[in-house]
Amino acid sequence: MLNGKKVVLGVSGGIAVYKAVALTSKLTQAGADVRVIMTEHATEFVTPLTFQAISRNPVYTDTFDEKDPAKIAHIDLADWADLVLLAPATANILGKIANGIADDMLTTTLLATQAPVYVAPAMNVHMYQHPAVIQNLHTLENWGYRFIEPGDGYLACGYIGKGRLEEPENIVELLEMETNRTNNWMGKKVLITAGPTREALDPVRFFTNYSSGKMGYALAQVAMENGAEVILITGPTTLTPPVNVTTIEVSSADEMFEQVKSRYENMDIIIKAAAVADYRPTLRNEHKMKKQDGPLTLEMERTTDILQYLGQHKTKQFIVGFAAETQDIVRYGRKKLENKNLDAIVLNDISRKDIGFASDRNEVLFMTRDGKEQAIEQDSKKNIAKQIIQLIDSELRKV
């Protein structure tokens, strides 16, 4: 998806410059034509020759080094680029561009380009949290710059915290995702639920299920790639939230219901992929329960049926439910579709060991209210999500 794309990679002076070498390699392997601009301080860490060898293109370091007399280099590069990537972006370079300073090859090019600019910050955790840096980030965001958040971990300065340059392969994946973005759902508001819920028994124990959240997260990412404004309401998972998706973390069924209830009226599409607990302990013990002799009997009560509430109160929303079943899948799915006033439902056979909960793969049946059934054969959950979104889009076009 980056094949043939013209990428200007701006490299500023921080220890993460070594990652920019790997990033150049990954971009080139993905088929991009990469032109590197280095600040003077960046050359203190890695020589321009290294980037030249990896990119197989000249490296730019000096505004006044005009390689072609017929062209102004920084204007020519600014016009040439399909996208500009600033990685690593130090606090210094962020301050310069946020205040319109253009005193070297990189900053003059950034001011001149009309291409999308992606910024991947990298710095000490306390620098990243400084009010000046935060203000500069907000300024650039308001101007339309797009950010690739730094990761948490061990920093070169010895601190542990947020500030590590995102890994090169993840940056390339994000850029591929961005270039593959379509506008089919531009202007649509989509709410997706994902993951399990936890129903507390006491401060250390809870009831839950095997849902990993992978399907819901994949749906959120694909909906975002199609141009939608996506809100993901998720139970506890180990997954990294999709980029450019508003993610709201909850724990219990009640918390998920309240978050959904407060937002559903403004939504165009609701996809309820979460595995919400049907029951919770009637009483939650304030202190840890102690072991006793003999069996333990607990009284459980129903949680609010979120999907039924949505079906009863929907106005303009297109509502898609999920049904995880182990037997009579079609019969139970059709019953759920009708009883809860859904527009469509995705049926998932969780009795199989090769798909379903916790697996990276799935195989589902998409069923609509008018009786249409579409089998989606086994594939990665990301590809399953793409097909589900396409089927929802086809149904919306009928309206």
* Interatomic CA distance for residues 112 and 124, integer angstroms: 29
* 189 assigned binding-site residue: no
* 336 assigned binding-site residue: yes
Tokens of 66: 């005009």
* 278 assigned binding-site residue: yes
Which of 15, 22, 157, 365 is the catalytic position? 157
* Interatomic CA distance for residues 46 and 48, integer angstroms: 7
H-type helices in the chain, by residue range? 17-29, 48-55, 73-80, 91-98, 105-112, 125-128, 131-142, 168-179, 214-225, 253-261, 306-313, 329-339, 381-398
**Number of residues that make up the chain:** 399
103: nearest Cα among 147, 42, 40: 40
Q: How far apart are the first and last CA of the chain?
A: 32
* 322 assigned binding-site residue: yes
33 is catalytic: no
Angle, helices 17-29/48-55, rounded to nearest 10 degrees:
10
242: nearest Cα among 188, 177, 190: 177
* Interatomic CA distance for residues 258 and 273, integer angstroms: 16
Task: Tell me the catalytic residues.
Answer: 157
Binding-site annotation: residue ranges: 278, 288, 322, 336, 340
Annotated binding-site positions for CTP = 278, 288, 322, 336, 340
